[in-house]
Amino acid sequence: DAGVTQSPTHLIKTRGQQVTLRCSPKSGHDTVSWYQQALGQGPQFIFQYYEEEERQRGNFPDRFSGHQFPNYSSELNVNALLLGDSALYLCASSLDRQGTQYFGPGTRLLVL
């Protein structure tokens, strides 16, 4: 049973560029949440997707957007990248919105 998978594993971008990160949830899970984890910090909630709609959002600007597909996989898009967007981006999936969240390995984004 595959767990949560994310791609790519690492990414280097320059300021002002746009990036798309991808996530496939654990088998049987229908809800995907995205978190940003800066070095040495705990993960910070970006948003949650359920039934192909953004359901809850954390304190992130609208440069951060996402999408959920009919097969429950999800994308995180970040526009106009800033140096401060450098972080580990984590995807977590759950059986439903209330369920325990299981995390993927993350995508390490470096903005130069």
Partner 1 sequence: QQQVKQSPQSLIVQKGGISIINCAYENTAFDYFPWYQQFPGKGPALLIAIRPDVSEKKEGRFTISFNKSAKQFSLHIMDSQPGDSATYFCAANSPTSGTYKYIFGTGTRLKVLA
6 or 68: CB nearest partner 1: 6
14 or 52: CB nearest partner 1: 52
d(CA 100, CA 84): 29
CB of 86 to partner 1, least distance (A): 15
End-to-end CA distance of the chain: 37
Positions in the binding site for partner 1 (CB under 8 A): 4, 6, 31, 33, 35, 40-45, 48, 55-56, 58, 90, 92, 94, 97-98, 100-106, 108
Instruction: Please give the C-alpha separations between residue 51 and each of 31, 65, 74, 91, in angstroms, as whole numbers.
Output: 8, 16, 11, 16
16 or 55: CB nearest partner 1: 55
